Amino acid sequence: MKLPRLIIAGEHKTGFVPPSILLLAAMKRSGIPLHVFYCGFSPIDVRLLQSISEESVTVINLKTCTNIKMVKTLFETSAMSNKLNVIVCDLGQRAETARDSYIDTIASDLAFALDCSIILCCYAENQPRPLVKIVGEICSAIEKQNPVRIDGAIFVNPFDPHSFQLTENNIGMNFRWSTFGYIPSELEPPIPTIESLSSVGSYTRGTFSLRAVAGRIAQMQGQIDYLALEAIGKYNQEWISTGGVAHFQKAISPKVAMIKDLALTGEGNNAELLFKSFGCQVYQVSAKEMLSQSFDMYYFPDGLGYIAAESFNSTEKFASTLKSAILNNRIVFANGASALIFGEKFMAPDGSEAKGLGILPVMGNYSNLASFSSPSPVICASAKTEGLLLQGDEKINAYMVPNIALESHSKSLHCSFAATGIVAGSTGYEEHNAILAGVCIDLWSNIDVIRRLFYAT
C-alpha cells in the first residue's frame, strides 16, 4: 500500500496567516495534487485551510486521539494514494523575548506516528548567523522528542534575496538538509476573523484575497522548489495498513444528515469519514435540503452556532422537523459550540439574547467568546449508569472551547456526561434521542461508543 505523505511544520506570528498554510495553497496552485490534513486545535486554521486550499480537511488531534494506532487509522481512512497527503501543523511562535517564544514539538510526534518527513517553515527575519542558531534549537527540540527526519525548510520574510542566499549558505554548512526557497515579506496577509470566514458575504471577499496571495507565490518562477517538496513526500510512501474501521456487525445502512453551513466547519471532515467507515450513507445537507427526506441521524458539527442559527431559524419547519425526528427515535447530535443554540434562546457574543431552536430546555452562552484562548483537551465520563452516548465506566475524549457555556434550564434535565481533566465541570445533556455536547467530542477517540448510537435508532 502506497500513501505519499509529508508534514509541513510552520511557525506562526500573531495577526498573520500562518505561512505553512500559504505554502500548502501555493503547492496546490503549482499543480501538485494534494489531500489536506491539519494537526492541532485551532478552528480558524482549519477554516483557513478549507478556504484557501478549496479542499476538505481531516483534523488529527494528537491530544484527543487515544493511541498511535487510532492516529494511523484516521490518517489511512482519509489519505489518498494518488495524491500527496500533506499534514500542516504548528511549529510554535517566535516572539521578541525568549520568555514569550516557544517551540511546539507536535510535528515530531506526528512524524513518528506516520513515519514521514518534516519540512520546516520558519521566519527568516533575523540575520543569517543568529537564524542558524534559532533553527538549530528548533531541530534539536524536534529530534530530541523522537527519532524523525527533517528534510528541508522554507523561509519566510528574509530581508532581501542576498540575505536569503547567505542564509542558504549557513544552513548548508550546519545542517544535513537543504532549503527549498522563501516566501517574500510583501506576501504576508493579515489573518481574517473566524466570523468573517463563517458567513457567505465576507467569506467570499476574504478567501478571494488569500487565494490571490497563494497564486502569486505559485507564479514566482524559481521561488520555491515544488518538485523537490513533492519528491520528498513520495520518497517513503510505503504504508502498512491498520485494518481500518470495522463495518456494522449486522446488515444496516443508516442515513446520516451532516448539517452543512459555513459556520459549522471546525471539525473538518472527520465525522463524515467515520460514519462512512461504519457503512452509513452520509449526506451533506443545508437547512432547506434537510427537510426533503428523513434520516436516522442528524449531526451538527462544531462551529459558530450563533451564526448558523440565523439561517436555521429562517428555514420554515427546521426546528419542528428535528423535534419530530427525536420523537420518532432518530438521533440528533450537536457537537461542541453548535449545541448552544438548541434552547429557546442563547446569549450572543455581544451579550444580547438571540432566538434558539427550542429543542431542549438549555441555555447557551457565547458572551465571553471575545476573550478566546486555545482549546483544552478533556476526558468525558458518564454522569449516569445508562446514557445514550456513554454508559457505565465508558469515556471519550474531547476538547473544550474556553469561554462558552451550556446549562440546563429545567429541573428535569440533568447532566448526562461531564468533562474531567484539565477543565472540570463542562457538561453534556441528553433527552430522548437528542445529544447536546457542551464540549467538542473527538468521535475517533472511542469509535465503539459512536457506532453504538446507530443501534439505538
Give the CATH number of the domain where residue 107 resides. 3.40.50
The mean per-residue pLDDT over the stretch 123-138 comes to: 82
DSSP state of 170: H
Containing H/E element for 289? helix 287-290
Is 419 in contact with 350 (CB distance < 8 Å)?
A: no
Q: Are residues 38 and 126 in the same domain?
A: yes
Residue 244 lies in a domain: no
Tell whether 313 and 197 lie within a shared domain: no
Confidence of residue 84 (pLDDT cuts 50, 70, 90): very high
Same domain for 217 and 362? no
Residues 261 and 149 in one domain: no
Residues listed for the chain: 457
* CATH assignment at residue 411: 3.40.50.880
406 and 265 housed in the same domain: yes
Report d(CA 51, CA 49) in Å as an integer.
6
Does position 422 have pLDDT exceeding 50, yes or no? no
pLDDT of residue 203: 60
Considering the domain architecture, whether residues 146 and 87 belong to the same structural domain is answered as yes
Position 243 in a domain: no
Which H helix or E strand runs over 217?
A: helix 200-219
How much is the mean pLDDT over the chain? 88
Q: What is the pTM of this model?
A: 0.92
- Is there a domain that residue 329 lies in? yes
The answer on 435 and 308 residing in a single domain is: yes
Let me know if residue 220 belongs to a domain: yes
Say yes or no: 318 and 407 in one domain: yes
Over residues 258-282, the pLDDT tens digits come to 999 988 988 899 999 999 999 999 9
| Per-residue pLDDT tens digits for 199-230 | 766 666 667 778 888 888 888 878 899 999 99
φ, ψ for residue 448 (rounded to 5)?
-65, -35
Domain-embedded: residue 297: yes
65 falls within a domain = yes
Does residue 206 sit in the same domain as residue 268?
A: no
Number of independent structural domains in the chain: 2
Structural domain harbouring 160: 5-235
User: Are residues 261 and 230 part of one domain?
Assistant: no
Distance of CA 261 to the CA centre of its chain: 16
Let me know whether 292 and 170 are in one domain: no
- Find residue 27's DSSP bridge partners: none
Residue 246 lies in a domain: no
Q: Within a domain: residue 242?
A: no
Give which of 26, 13, 421, 448 is closest to 229, Cα–Cα. Answer: 26
Mean pLDDT of 99-107: 79
Average pLDDT over residues 29-45: 92
* 130 & 275 share domain: no
